[in-house]
Structure 1
Amino acid sequence: MEHDVTQTQQSPGLPGSAVWMLKSLEGEVRPVALSVARHLRDGLPAETEGFEELIFTAVHGAMSHFIDLGLGRAAPYTAIDDHFRKVGFKVAAMGQDRALVDLGINMATSELWDVLRRRAVENELSAAALNALNEMMSSYVEHLAKQVTTGFGAGTEARDQDNDVARARLIERMLSGASLDEIEMQASLGDWTLPEKVTVMAVELRDGDRIAADALSPTALTRRRDPTQVVICPPDDAEAVTKELRAAAPKARVSVCWPVPPEDVPAAWRWANRALALVNARVIPAKPVIDCLAYRTEIWLHAEPVMRRQLAQELLEPLLAESANSREILTETLLVWLETRESAPAIAAVLGVHPQTIRYRWKRINELFGESLRDPEFVTQLLLLLKASVPLWVAGDQSDFDRYQQQTG
């Protein structure tokens, strides 16, 4: 179709007066092209250096080509089409609106048409000749607009691909603990507005599953990072993004950390994944969405599992040596005392047993731990250790007892 249009416009059959007037316009091409380029440049951001030259080249070439066509000269479209596709591509790649190019085309058309009308009045050009020029110009501008559309589409696709790469790099920078300056630079490259704080989520999916970025709000960054998928978004968008995650993967479990500064993302990522591990260990209740803030103490207590295991072998050795039933009731009593420091009757009321039962148990606890129970540092460590260990034992984790048996033979 474009080939047919080109052939028609190469022989427009313009009246002689219109042809004469077009020929007289050849000296106006450069001033008009400069005017259009400068007007557009004024509305562009500073980083678009070089765009003014591209606009000038495109407008200057189009006006010269239009005059050549009107004068019946052989004038292939190839170079002109390429210029306008480049303009559309550049505008899209810069993240500017398509209306910017339309403004330039309309401005050039308007300025050229003003010159034509003035000359038409000065030279008493007939209405028929002026209408013929108007029809030719309208058809020509429509052709240029199509080239801009093609270039703009390609530029948009390229920008999206570049943004995806930049955003993936941004996620990795944040997770690796990059400086705030580096994070800000990557956010700018990825066209992502960096908030003062971010919400980090760890999404537990089935093996091989992945949630596509386009399933989430544009403000959400996401990438599969085995064994879970990371999602980072502004805190204000966290609730909406969580719903989108649930819609995209109904069987997934989402662990949502409390908001943190961008430079603390590595810690938030650990905490969110730790919460998922504690769900799997049955320390935290299994829910589709885990609010890490509600389980901050558990996440903290289990932040160093190796240290917990070592301390359990050292501090809890007297309890680990007890029979399973004795260990259970003594631990239950000791933990309530550590948390409340109450009397035997008060502890008995909490546990639903007779006060004398508590006294029997307390006598055995003193036999096991002795003077250590009067050491504030030991008591503090014991409280934290039991709060971290008892939920594991209740959930069926026998590793502390198995390890004790292996060490003692």
Structure 2
Amino acid sequence: MATRGPRRTAGHGVLLDPEVIAEMRAHLPDVADRTVAAITEEVPSYQDALSGSMGEIIRNAVQLALGGFLSLAGGRRGADPGTPAAPSVEGAYQLGRGEARNGRTTDALLSAYRIGARVAWREMSATAVRSGIPADRLAGFAELVFAYIDELSAASVAGHTDELATSGRVRERLLERLAKDLLDGASTDEVVEAAARAEWPEPKTLTAVIVPEAQARRVRGSLPGVVLQAVDRSDIPDRALLLVPDAHGRERAGLLAALGRGCIAGPPRPWLQVRASYDRALRAHESGLTGDTELHLTQLVLTADPEALADLRARALAPLADLRPAVAEKLTDTLRSWLFHHGRREDVAAELFVHPQTVRYRMNQLRDLYGDRLDDPETVLELTIALSA
């Protein structure tokens, strides 16, 4: 069965005589008061909103809507948008926008419209009946009441939707600007001001997370709080950068659980210092690492300066430089194992699948090459770092 669309007021002829319209207009203030009172009583969320100056604004809006309706009932509306009912529809549209700005849904507003239709029909139909309106016109009058409410309701819903879309886009741009300021080294005052403009609550920490573009929406939606997303990052093509608030301590487990394949999470940092979290996540990403950067600290430290590491390795292994490549490789493997196993010959032999005597022989060769330096802590540290990469 087809779904019925909103009832329309177009096409209705003259339903009420001018004298009846004039009598109804004379009672509009009283009808508006009773309508507002009914709404206040039956829609709890409007009990406070309709008090004081706001109540007067709504009361005037009700009178405007009822006046527009009476213009329709008198047959004064045409196709021209400047006809008497147009201000009522525009008022309903703006009312919907106002409800969105106040953080309310359309549920209460649509309930108010239904109550208003009921009160208006009760009051106006009584006047129509007293004036002797024929039954067929009374039926048409009832249809017009509810068609008119349909149009006002639709206008308010459209206004509510448009306001949410507009404010949502504006806030999203403000949040993107905030992320840019955080990453590009803006001053503390500039960043704090940007956060205030975006109505973004300042967290204790932020964690930079690099995710594949295809996963960004899912990851962002699965995390609590307002997650910032930096856009147009040329240093991570085909990747999205998220800045996740307060994902430290016990909350980090929830963040890591939300990540999929190919994601990398930097460390939590005080929110104004999130650039440090991003720098680490970026280096991990460039090194082909994924997951939690806290699990890759050793590798990140060792690869922080590749040229310095290469120079250190060349200097530390200089005594082996003149050996045949095969011999140098065996001695290097033995030296690495000897360092990592703290000189335990049996463990070294087990790792290298050789006899302990072979380990002794090779270590004697290494001592001939290095001399007393193998007992020097600074040399041992350099060799350990050089052979760890």
More moved, 346-355 vs 267-276: 267-276
Deviation at 1:351, TM superposition (A): 1.6
Looking at structure 2, the residues matched to 306 and 158 of structure 1 have their Cα atoms a distance apart, in angstroms, of: 51
Q: Which of residues 13, 16, 24 in structure 2 aligns to 1:14?
A: 16
Counterpart of 2:276, as a letter, is A
Q: Does 1:148 align with 2:149?
A: no
State the distance in 2 between where 1:176 and 1:331 align: 44
Please state if 1:158 is matched with 2:166. Answer: yes
Task: Note if contact 2:72-2:85 (Cα within 8 Å) is conserved in structure 1.
Answer: no
Q: In the TM superposition, what are the counterparts of 1:200-239 in structure 2 within 5 Å?
A: 200-203=208-211, 210-211=213-214, 214=217, 217-218=220-221, 219=223, 222=229, 223-228=231-236, 229-232=239-242, 233=244, 235=252, 236=254, 238-239=256-257
Match of 1:274 in 2: 283
* SS across alignment from 1:257: strand
How big is the alpha-carbon RMSD for the aligned residues of Structure 1 and Structure 2?
4.5
Three-state SS of the structure 1 residue aligned to 2:210 is: strand
Aligned residues: percent identity?
24
| Structure 1, unaligned runs of 5 or more | 45-49, 205-209, 247-253, 389-409
CA distance in structure 2 between the partners assigned to 1:238 and 1:346 by the alignment = 36
8 Å CA contact 2:337, 2:348 repeated in 1: yes
Structure 1 partner of 2:380? 379
Q: Which residue of 2 aligns with 1:5?
A: 9
Alpha-carbon deviation of 1:78?
Answer: 2.7
CA contact (8 A) 1:180 1:262 kept: no
Residue 383 of structure 1: CA displacement? Answer: 1.7
After superposition, the Cα gap between the structure-2 partners of 1:168 and 1:377, relative to the gap in structure 1 and judged at 3 Å, is same
2:145 is matched with 137
- How far apart are the structure 1 equivalents of 2:194 and 2:317? 49
Q: In 1, distance between residues paired with 2:293 and 2:124?
A: 71
Q: SS of the residue aligned with 1:260?
A: strand
Q: List aligned pairs for 1:20-169, cutoff 5 A.
A: 21-28=23-30, 31=33, 58-71=61-74, 75-92=83-100, 96-113=104-121, 115-116=123-124, 128=135, 133-169=141-177
Are 2:343 and 1:334 equivalent residues in the alignment?
no
Residue type of the alignment partner of 1:22: M
- Structure 1 counterpart SS, 2:84: coil
Give the 3-state SS of the residue equivalent to 1:5 in structure 2. coil
**1:66, 1:140 within 8 Å by CA — same for their partners in 2?**
yes
Greater Cα offset, 170-179 or 59-68: 170-179
Using a 3 Å threshold, how does the CA distance of structure 1 residues 337 and 199 change in structure 2: closer, same or farther? same
Mapped contact 1:201–1:272 kept (Cα < 8 A): yes
Is the contact made by 1:89 and 1:151 (CA closer than 8 Å) also made in structure 2?
yes
2: CA distance, partners of 1:351 / 1:94 = 72
> Which amino acid is the alignment partner of residue 148 of structure 1?
S
Distance in 1, matches of 2:235 and 2:98, equals 39
TM-score relative to the length of structure 2: 0.70
Q: How far is 1:189 from its partner? A: 6.4
With structure 1 as the length reference, what TM-score do the two structures score? 0.67
**Structure 2 stretches lacking a partner, 5+ long:** 78-82
2:363 is aligned with what amino acid? W
Shift of 1:139: 1.3
| Deviation by residue 1:90-110 (Cα, 9 ceiling, x = unmatched) | 444565422243244235435
Q: Distance in 1 between matches of 2:382 and 2:122?
A: 87
Q: Superposition pairs for residues 339-350 of structure 1, below 5 Å? A: 339-350=340-351
Counterpart amino acid of residue 358 in structure 2: T
State whether residues 88 and 152 of structure 1, in contact with CA within 8 Å, keep that contact through their aligned partners in structure 2.
Answer: yes
Measure how far apart 1:334 and its partner are.
Answer: 2.0
Task: Kindly indicate whether the alpha-carbon contact (under 8 Å) linking 1:260 and 1:268 is maintained by their aligned counterparts in 2.
Answer: yes
| CA distance 1:297–1:24, shift in 2 (3 Å) | same
Q: Which residue of 1 aligns with 2:80?
A: none
* In structure 2, distance between residues paired with 1:91 and 1:181: 33
